[in-house]
Amino acid sequence: MNEASEDKNLPAPTPELFVSRELSWLEFNRRVLLESAEKSSALLERLKFISIYFSNLDEFFMVRIGSLSDQAHAAPEKRDEKTGMTAADQIAASFRKVRELRKTAKACWQSVLEEATRRGIDFVDPEKASARENELISRWFKESIRLLLSPLVVDRHHPFPFLRNCESYVISHLEGKGGKAALGIVPVGLLPPYTVFDLEGRKKVVFTADVVRRFARKIFSDRKVLESVVCRVTRNADIPVDETLLEYTDGGDFRDVMQEMLKKRRRLAVVRVQFATAPSRELQDAVCERLEVSSAECVTEEMPPDFSFGFSLASKLGAAAQGLLPTSRAPIDPVNFRGNAAETIRRRDLLLAYPFHSIKPFVRLLEEAADDPDVLSVRITLYRMCSHSKIAMALARAAENGKEVFCVLELRARFDEQNNIDYAETLERAGCTVIYGLPDYKVHAKLCLITYRTATGTRTITQIGTGNYNEKTSELYTDLSLITADPAVGRDAAKTFNALGVGAFPRSLETLWVAPNAFLDNVIAEIDEEILARQSGNADARIAIKVNGLNNLAVMRKLVEASRAGVRVELFVRGICCLRPGIPGETENISVRSVVGTYLEHSRIFAFGKNARERVFIGSGDLLNRNLVRRVEVFAKIRDPEIRAETLNILDAIRRDNLKAWEMFPDGSYRKPAESAAGLPPCDSQLALYAHFAEKAKKEQGAARVPAADRRGNDRSRGGFFSRLRALFASEPESGA
């Protein structure tokens, strides 16, 4: 759904303070793309960033442009609350920006091609192949491809076929019988997207769609082929689940509703048409007419329209990929449990910082709980899981061993719906109780509660995270996972699960913030406290927030108020940021930084005040409208002084990053901080943090720490750790989404 507001009482849009969400997102994707231009990076790392850029763009069109297209038809006069733009305005601006970015993408791709050639890898255009290359390509087409093709001709006797979302087709302009033009269509989306030949000591990469295009005249041998192009369509994927629910009347459960939604999504309207090379006006018009789109929704890439090959090419290159990949850094095991994981957690809180730390300690905690006779129950929220999940296996084993296992499994995790449906069935078969969230709210929280039997009652261990219970992404995304035996946190977690079980929200919590009831109000209250502190002359007034996106109008206006009051506001926002910093008299005390590096920045950290007034929170939600008002999110206050220091120094690392960080300017553009960082040692925050956590883990193995119960809420000093981290930055020369 588009997030423009219909509230007539809201202030008038102020585009001088705010940036369009769509344009801000496209600016983020530009930062991703420009990582592929870093010639100091490994070749396949550069290719990966181009692939991520195009994958991101696919989702942008499926979701954001799809949603805006619906709004443009249903409510054409509705305007965005921040910028005053209509849906049509936003779509037009987005297409303009995408066309601008295409020039940059083409230059980045050309640079990667040139380096690949120097490294012995040729991306071969079948139309320009050498005699030896053409011989290999022709043989491959004849022996491996030709019999798999299902070509068809579209004329007045044959209807235009359904073109699948994000799959490639070769479309030929044919001279029809009797002089009438026709279209020849060859689906290639279900074929291997490319092949790799060995020739004269070099690797030859050839795209299947290009080969089919090359042999179009043989495929349609009884017609005259006037031209052929590779074409790919993107379809709207934004179906509100409640809309499907209203239409579904067969009496099935919510899994059945989601299955119906997935079927419906596959056939939604086209929002973009990509051509690998420029078609003639006649061919483009014919395709547009059949797909019911305008020429404005067509994009000529002049490069492969589908870059998904970038994620798998390394495996196809075999030994030739050696030296073309970035340095691998295995996740660190940060703790020696010395036997039982639960007993270690009882003595001290544990913070796992992915991907520097391994997720294995949390998995081990669950696996031990599955077999522990003193465990009464395991309750958990699940949003995205990897295939062959050890976490899901541990939950299933716990249920099979007689534990009460309660899973809030959100079926509406976009593009992971089928995976979650499958896991729901698996967990239910094992004996778990599975609910699918709340009808009007996605459960996006990352919360796990293990309850143990004791001689005098019960005790708990609670985990609160910023990222999913996904072993694969824990090695790719920066996230935080707090594991604590604090009974107050356990009581709040129990109330949260009890409320979700009956379709409600928890109230009167001691320690946790739970959206939608408490997240927004608490953020506003914390900002207000800093405003009051600054107005009282307190020099410790400050706000530092790390999130993945910011577009909520209430939060942004409150941050503007804080800036006007003189509060220093530091925003570390990876992606969408709709608030313009540095505007005199308005946001001059606000800075915005974005890090795009080897790992995807994903953790959410909120820090308010300094020294004795310092409050630090981590949790699952961004400052986007959806997280604040349409999702269930959970945040926890960091009470352990050492863990609080560790969390704050993650912000310190990003603050000092002058290799992978970008600074936002008042016009909404981003630049590397080279000018402001002159004279400082090179710092890649992710590499520096990895080095820090590796060194700390060495000392941790075998070294005793003060139990958390003795530390919690006491010493707030972080000077020693801060000094060590500064030393790491000073000695860290390497660069590394």
Q: Hey, which residues are catalytic here?
A: 444
Cα separation values, 587 from 547, 558, 572, 680, Å: 18, 11, 15, 26
- 381 within 8 A of 443, measured Cβ to Cβ: yes
Residues 6+ apart with CB under 8 A from 688: 653, 656, 725, 728, 729, 732
CB 213 within 8 A of CB 185: no
Residue 660: name the closest of 641, 638, 677 by CA.
Answer: 677
Helix or strand holding residue 259 (H, E): helix 254-265
How is 411-438 classified by DSSP, letter by letter?
A: TTSTT-HHHHHHHHHHHHHHT-EEE--B
DSSP-assigned beta bridge partners for residue 615:
608
* 366: helix, strand or coil: helix
Can you say how many angstroms the Cα of residue 183 is from the centroid of all Cα atoms in its chain? 38
One DSSP character per residue, 196-251 reads EEEETTEEEEEEHHHHHHHTHHHHTTTSEEEEEEEEEEEE-----HHHHHHH--S-
d(CA 296, CA 98): 12
Pure H helices in 565-640: 625-629
Taking a C-beta distance cutoff of 8 angstroms, is the pair 365, 337 a contact? no
User: What is the spatial order of strands in the sheet that 194-199 belongs to?
Assistant: 121-123, 202-207, 194-199
Backbone phi and psi for residue 295, each to the nearest 5 degrees, phi listed first:
-65, -25
Cα Rg for the chain, rounded, in angstroms? Answer: 27
- SS3 string, 630-667, reads CEECEEEECCCHHHHHHHHHHHHHHHHCCCCEEEECCC
Alpha-carbon distance 260 to 278, whole Å?
Answer: 37
Distance CA 515, CA 442 (A): 11
**Straight-line distance from the first to the last Cα atom of the chain, in angstroms, rounded to the nearest whole number:** 27
Q: Output the CA torsion sign for 711, 712, 718, 719.
A: negative
Structure tokens at 515: 């959206």
Give the CB-side neighbour count of residue 37, counting CA atoms within 13 A.
11
> Residue 725: which H helix or E strand, with range?
helix 719-730
